[in-house]
Structure 1
Amino acid sequence: MSKKNIALDRLLTIQNHISNQPQQTGPIDLARERENASFNVKHMNWLFWGSKEFAEALQDAFLIIQRDPELHFSGGHPFDLTRPEEREATMKQIFRYIQLKKSLKDPLLFKALGVAMGMYSESFNMKVYVNDYLMAQSFKLFGTTEQYDAYINDIVNWKIIGCFAMTELGHSSFLRGLETTATYDRETDEFIIHSPTLTATKIWIGMAGQTATHTIAICQTIIDGKKCGTNWFIVQLRDQKTGKLMPGVTAGDVGAKYGRNGIDNGWIQFSHVRIPRTNMMMKWSKVDKGGEYIPSAFPAVSYSVLIGERLSVLSGAISTCGQVLTIACRYGCVRRQGANEEQIMDYQSHYVRLMPCVASTYVISVITRMIINKWEGIMKLAQTSQEEFISYLPDIHAISSGLKAAISWWGCEVLERVRRSMGGYAYSSYNGIGGAIGDWGVVTTGGGDNFVLIQQSARYLLGSFKQVSHGKKVTGSVEFLNDIQQIRSSTKSILSDERQLLNLDFTLDMYTWLCCKKVDVLAASLDSSTEGEETTWNENQVDLIKLGELYSYRFTLSEYIKGIKECSTNNEFKELIPILTKLGSLWAIHLINDSLYLFLEEEYFSKEQVKMIKKCHLKLCKEIRKECIPLVDSWGFSDFMLKAPLGKYDGDVYTAYLDTLKAAPNCMGIPDYWEKYVKNF
């Protein structure tokens, strides 16, 4: 401990003796915690955000938001706004953001501003994402060059406000089951867009409720009474000047939600809406003037725009989990409780709950950049080498489907652990936890519970296993299956020393063994069934979902190891390798510890080995706990961005919290209902 902090401790002791009001220990506690860092916090911040340049641009972006009255929320947070007020505030932020886009000449700073605003306002983040990514990328992936050129400038400049109409009242991820129809009329050379049933209503469509002027709608294409498959169509929803719905379009808002009330999720019904034939997105499938349907040689391409949407959950996890964990860790180190007034973060039940969450956030941050960079490279191939683009789709589709499901579920677990760690304070909107839970739920489960997605990953894994069984080689995320014969020849773990568990390659091998064993067992079960294919699949559904989860988590661990190796080539990041390795080891041990019952089913571990794993898990949690404040500080979320007084950087959390309560509307006023009800008692 530094001489300065020793002096502060002594001063605090004296003050407590002579004052009737115990002094707050938070500032001293957090200062002491920050001295425990074994790494350079600034360098870790650069690594977390990808580079020194972007991390510094992000801090500049935070300042822009804080200083710009059009970008920041009045009072610093949106918690006291009504839904209409939050809607207006969000659109005001977007309007200002587009103005700044034209004035900021530094593209890196503008990119950082978009990221920063996405963290500051979840509703802003989703509205901009729907238009600038889902709508724009739809034209890039599905539209012809002519269609892209005709629309893209209006989209990126918000002259057209777009939405993405996929999910229906009775359908979500199962695109073949969607009911909205696009029927070709030969006489007029038009498509008629129609919602034939109640369950065909497009629903939970971001910005469809109030603001979207156009949509990209996926519909069943019908020509001469014959279904030709699903395709994407451009449909105008509202007049761009008046905001009134177009003829044949009925749309409304879904109303109150758990979170993200600044975005107008809505529902849409089409009643024989006519659009030109050229409003069909025709990069892959086409309908010519004669009404001939020319199908895509690669039907699965219709899912490709969803890959980026699914991967965006990873970025959301970094922001959402990072912010709530910063709040929870700081509060856990400030809050004192018990006979000896100990920091609650020192209780084993507390830090064991939170430290795997901190470790996972670092793992996800590293792999997110890697996988998104890979996807961006693949998307470029859609313009230059379509066959090569198609060749990458099955693997990246399986990865994105599995990761969206697995990380969505894990994010929910992180938020729940944080909620419990904060006690009753988590239920105060002003501490940011409840809002984060609502926001995360809205964005990650809008299309269902993700069980359909994770089964797509399991199906891909099983298909790859079948190829290997027939002597073929597989590549990408399933390449490990090429060695499955050797892997499954080992029936018992060789774990004999705790130090082995600190080797990431060793823990990856154990997790790979489990993944291979489960795919082997499930493949045999499916093949031996005498029931129909669908019945057999359903009878094994729980195990298939778990297989998809194992595959996805194995991928995160494998990619993280590659990411650490890349860091070792950077002089600024070399010093971070020990702590990054420890964080990765905790994540790996957490995965293994969480799956012990699966290992034990196969008798892979002995009782002694299980004890060793559990002991190592507790030990790593305790070691990471010592550096939890420097670790969350490294993420760089300022007080202004966190919007949570109990997560203040300086540790003076109780003063800040009470000041926030006092500033709330009508905090100490006489309620309107006093005269009518209370007085009469």
Structure 2
Amino acid sequence: MSKKNIALDRLTTIQNHISNQPQPTGPIDLSRERENASFSVKHMNWLFWGNKEFAEALQDAYLIIQRDPDLYFPGGHPFDLTIPEQREFTMKQIFRYRQLRKSLKNPLLLKALALAMCMYSESFNMKIYVHDDLFLQSFQLFGTAEQYDAYIDDILNWKIIGCFAMTELGHGSFLRGLETTATYDRETDEFIIHSPTLTATKVWIGMAGQTATHTIAICQTIIDGKKCGTNWFIVQLRDKKTGKLMPGVTAGDLGAKYGRNGLDNGWIQFSHIRIPRTNMMMKWAKVTKEGKYIPSINPAISYSTLIGERLSVLGTAISTCGQMLTIACRYGCVRRQGANDEQIMEYQSHHVRLMPCVASTYVIGIVNRMIINKWEGIMKLTQTNQEEFVSYLPDMHAISSGLKATLTWWGCEVLERVRRSMGGYAYSSYNNIGGAIGDWGVVTTGGGDNFVLIQQTARYLLGSLKQVSQGKKITGTVEFLNDIQQILSFTKSTLSDERQLLNLDYTLEIYTWLLTGEEERWNDNQVYLIKLGELYSYRFTLSEYIIGIKGYSTISQFKELVPILNKLGNLWAIHLIHDSLGLFLEEGYFNGEQAKMIKKCYLKLCKEIRKECIPLVDSWGFPDFILKAPLGKYDGDVYPAFLNTIKAAPDCIGVPSYWEKYIKNLTNPK
């Protein structure tokens, strides 16, 4: 402990003796925690956000938001707004954000402002994402050059506002089962868009409830009574001037949700709407004026726009889980209780619950940047080499499906651990935990319970195993299966020393063995198929993380961070192994002593990471106004902040409006 902190402790002790009111220890506790860092928090912040320049631009973006009365919440707490008020405030933020984009010329600052606003407001995040990513990306992926040129200016400048109509009341991501139809009328050279059944209603469509003027709708293409496959169509929903629904369109809002109530998720029904044939997106599949259907070179292209959508979950996980873990870790180091008035973070049951979550956020953060860069590179091939683009789709579809499923499940687990760690305070909306759980719940609804997604991943893996068994070489994220015979030749673990577990390449080999074992069992049981897809997805994150941190060892300003990054990776890897110990023991790969060694190492690493948990969450750099939680304040003076927040709540003090009508008639009957 530094001389400065010793002096502060003595001063606090004296103050407590001479005052009737105990002095807050939170600021001192967090100051002491920050001295435990074995690394530069500033450099870690640069690494976490990609580089120094972007991390600094992000700080500038935070200042822009706080200083702008149309972006920044004006007073009180956003959780006190009604749903209509949240909708209006979110749209005001978007309007102001669009103005700023025209005035700010620095591309890096523009990118940072977009990210900062998405972290500040999940509703803003999704409204921007639906238009700027899903809607725009549909034109990039499926539109011809002529269609792209015709719409791109209106899209980029929000002269039209778009949404993405895929999910139906009775159908999710199984595109072949969708019921909305696009029937070609050869006489008028038009498609007729129709919702023939109740279950064909498009539902959970972001911005369809009140905002969107246009949609990209996926429909069953019908020519001469024959289904030709699913394709994407441009359909206008609302008049751009009046906001009224177009003839033949019935659409409404979904109402209250667990979270993101500033976002108007909606439903759409089409009743024999006629659109020009040229409103079919025809980069890949085409319909001629004569009614001839020319299919795409690969049916998987229909799913390609979903790859980016599924990968976006990684970024959302970093923001949502990172913010909530910052709140929980700071609170855990400020809150004291027990016979010795200890920080609750000191209790093993507390830090073992949270530290793997902190480690996973670092792993996902680094992997996210790597895989997004890869996907953006693949996307460029749609303009230069379409055959090569198509060759990447099966692998990217499999890993994006697996990552969305596993990381939404893991995100739910992280938020539940945070909720429990916060005790009763988690039930106050003002600490943002419930709001984050609600927002994350809205994120995960697209795939139901994600079983369909993870089974797609598992089938891809099984197909790859079959190719290897036939003597074929495979590439991509399943390339490791080329060595399956060598992997399976080790029927027992060689683990004999705890130091082996601190080698990421060694733990990756352990996890790879579990993934490739017992192929016949995977084929016979759907439950194991789900587990197979989960193991594959986690193996991918671990293998990519290893590649990522090895790259940082060659960058001068990040070299010092490699030891703590290794330790975080070790904890995540051992968490994965620890979580699957039952399977390892069932297969006889580990014996009882080895399992005990893994558990001991797991607890030890959790305790070591706990010592640096505050510097680690500080490195993410979420300002207090982004966190929106008095119990997560950077300075640690949390209790006055929480009390002041609840005192500012509407109608906190005073006689309720129903006193005279009900309470008075009980307490003072006539």
- Specify the TM-score bucket, using the shorter chain as the normaliser: over 0.9
Distance (whole Å) between structure 2 residues aligned to residue 126 and residue 55 of structure 1: 23
The amino acid that maps onto 2:521 is: L
1:124-148 CA-to-partner distances (Å, cap 9, x unmatched) read 0000000000000000000000000
Matches within 5 A, 1:401-440: 401-440=401-440
For residue 661 of structure 1, the aligned residue among 646, 649, 654 is 646
Distance (whole Å) between structure 2 residues aligned to residue 633 and residue 544 of structure 1: 39
Aligned residues of 2:194 and 2:273 also touching (Cα < 8 A): yes
Per the alignment, in what secondary structure is the counterpart of residue 417 of structure 2?
helix
1:617-658 CA-to-partner distances (Å, cap 9, x unmatched) read 000000000000000000000111111000000000001000
Q: How many residues matched?
A: 666
Aligned residues of 2:549 and 2:566 also touching (Cα < 8 A): yes
Give 1:444 deviation, angstroms: 1.9
Give the match for residue 576 of structure 1: 561
Distance (whole Å) between structure 2 residues aligned to residue 650 and residue 268 of structure 1: 48
Give 1:317 deviation, angstroms: 0.4
Give me the TM-score of the superposition, normalised by structure 2: 0.99
Per the alignment, in what secondary structure is the counterpart of residue 275 of structure 2?
strand
The amino acid that maps onto 1:593 is: H
Give the match for residue 536 of structure 1: none
For residue 587 of structure 1, the aligned residue among 572, 585, 589 is 572
Distance (whole Å) between structure 1 residues aligned to residue 197 and residue 521 of structure 2: 38
Distance (whole Å) between structure 2 residues aligned to residue 669 and residue 103 of structure 1: 46
Give me the TM-score of the superposition, normalised by structure 1: 0.97
Give the match for residue 471 of structure 2: 471
Give the match for residue 635 of structure 2: 650
Give the match for residue 325 of structure 2: 325
Per the alignment, in what secondary structure is the counterpart of residue 405 of structure 1?
helix
Aligned residues of 1:398 and 1:460 also touching (Cα < 8 A): yes
Per the alignment, in what secondary structure is the counterpart of residue 445 of structure 1?
helix
Matched, 1:521 2:506: no
1:317-337 CA-to-partner distances (Å, cap 9, x unmatched) read 000000000000000000000
1:5-47 CA-to-partner distances (Å, cap 9, x unmatched) read 1111001111112221111100000000000000000000000
Distance (whole Å) between structure 2 residues aligned to residue 666 and residue 106 of structure 1: 44
Aligned residues of 2:447 and 2:453 also touching (Cα < 8 A): no
Give 1:522 deviation, angstroms: 3.4
Distance (whole Å) between structure 2 residues aligned to residue 555 and residue 567 of structure 1: 19
For residue 611 of structure 2, the aligned residue among 620, 626, 643 is 626
Give the match for residue 564 of structure 1: 549
Distance (whole Å) between structure 1 residues aligned to residue 383 and residue 569 of structure 2: 37
Give 1:77 deviation, angstroms: 3.9
Matched, 1:605 2:590: yes
Give the match for residue 180 of structure 2: 180
Query: Structure 2 unaligned runs (5+)?
Result: none
Matched, 1:451 2:451: yes
Aligned residues of 1:76 and 1:643 also touching (Cα < 8 A): no
Give the match for residue 32 of structure 2: 32
The amino acid that maps onto 1:16 is: N
Distance (whole Å) between structure 2 residues aligned to residue 442 and residue 487 of structure 1: 40
Give 1:666 deviation, angstroms: 1.3
Distance (whole Å) between structure 2 residues aligned to residue 276 and residue 417 of structure 1: 52
Distance (whole Å) between structure 2 residues aligned to residue 153 and residue 360 of structure 1: 40
The amino acid that maps onto 1:316 is: T
Distance (whole Å) between structure 1 residues aligned to residue 203 and residue 656 of structure 2: 38
Give 1:471 deviation, angstroms: 0.3
> Structure 1's 245 and 415: CA in aligned 2 closer, same or farther, altered over 3 A?
same
Distance (whole Å) between structure 2 residues aligned to residue 664 and residue 156 of structure 1: 39
Per the alignment, in what secondary structure is the counterpart of residue 494 of structure 1?
coil
Distance (whole Å) between structure 2 residues aligned to residue 486 and residue 83 of structure 1: 58
Give the match for residue 530 of structure 1: none
Distance (whole Å) between structure 2 residues aligned to residue 541 and residue 212 of structure 1: 39
1:146-174 CA-to-partner distances (Å, cap 9, x unmatched) read 00011111112111100000000000011
The amino acid that maps onto 1:604 is: Y
Give the match for residue 114 of structure 2: 114
> Structure 1's 643 and 308: CA in aligned 2 closer, same or farther, altered over 3 A?
same
Query: Percent same amino acid at aligned positions?
Result: 83
Aligned residues of 1:167 and 1:447 also touching (Cα < 8 A): no
Give the match for residue 532 of structure 2: 547
Distance (whole Å) between structure 1 residues aligned to residue 78 and residue 642 of structure 2: 16
1:446-500 CA-to-partner distances (Å, cap 9, x unmatched) read 3311110011110000000000000000111101100000111110000000000
Distance (whole Å) between structure 1 residues aligned to residue 493 and residue 15 of structure 2: 57
Distance (whole Å) between structure 2 residues aligned to residue 60 and residue 444 of structure 1: 32
Give the match for residue 128 of structure 1: 128
The amino acid that maps onto 2:215 is: T
Aligned residues of 2:76 and 2:648 also touching (Cα < 8 A): no
The amino acid that maps onto 2:625 is: F
Distance (whole Å) between structure 2 residues aligned to residue 447 and residue 42 of structure 1: 38
Aligned residues of 2:464 and 2:474 also touching (Cα < 8 A): yes
The amino acid that maps onto 1:55 is: A
Per the alignment, in what secondary structure is the counterpart of residue 9 of structure 1?
helix
Deviates more, 1:76-85 or 1:246-255: 76-85
Matched, 1:638 2:638: no
Give the match for residue 60 of structure 1: 60
Give 1:75 deviation, angstroms: 1.8
Per the alignment, in what secondary structure is the counterpart of residue 262 of structure 2?
coil
Per the alignment, in what secondary structure is the counterpart of residue 446 of structure 1?
helix
Aligned residues of 1:76 and 1:640 also touching (Cα < 8 A): no
Q: Provide the alpha-carbon RMSD of the alignment.
A: 0.8
Structure 1 runs (4+) greater than 4 angstroms displaced: none
The amino acid that maps onto 2:367 is: I
Distance (whole Å) between structure 2 residues aligned to residue 297 and residue 404 of structure 1: 26
Give 1:443 deviation, angstroms: 1.1
Aligned residues of 2:76 and 2:649 also touching (Cα < 8 A): no
Give the match for residue 142 of structure 2: 142
Matched, 1:51 2:51: yes
Matched, 1:104 2:92: no
Distance (whole Å) between structure 2 residues aligned to residue 72 and residue 295 of structure 1: 49
Give the match for residue 227 of structure 1: 227
Aligned residues of 1:25 and 1:334 also touching (Cα < 8 A): yes
The amino acid that maps onto 2:659 is: W
Matches within 5 A, 1:167-566: 167-518=167-518, 520-522=519-521, 525-526=523-524, 540-566=525-551
Aligned residues of 1:138 and 1:305 also touching (Cα < 8 A): yes
Per the alignment, in what secondary structure is the counterpart of residue 291 of structure 2?
coil
Give 1:76 deviation, angstroms: 6.2
Per the alignment, in what secondary structure is the counterpart of residue 556 of structure 2?
coil
Give the match for residue 533 of structure 1: none
Per the alignment, in what secondary structure is the counterpart of residue 209 of structure 1?
coil
Per the alignment, in what secondary structure is the counterpart of residue 650 of structure 1?
coil
Per the alignment, in what secondary structure is the counterpart of residue 129 of structure 1?
helix
The amino acid that maps onto 2:644 is: D
Distance (whole Å) between structure 2 residues aligned to residue 679 and residue 360 of structure 1: 54
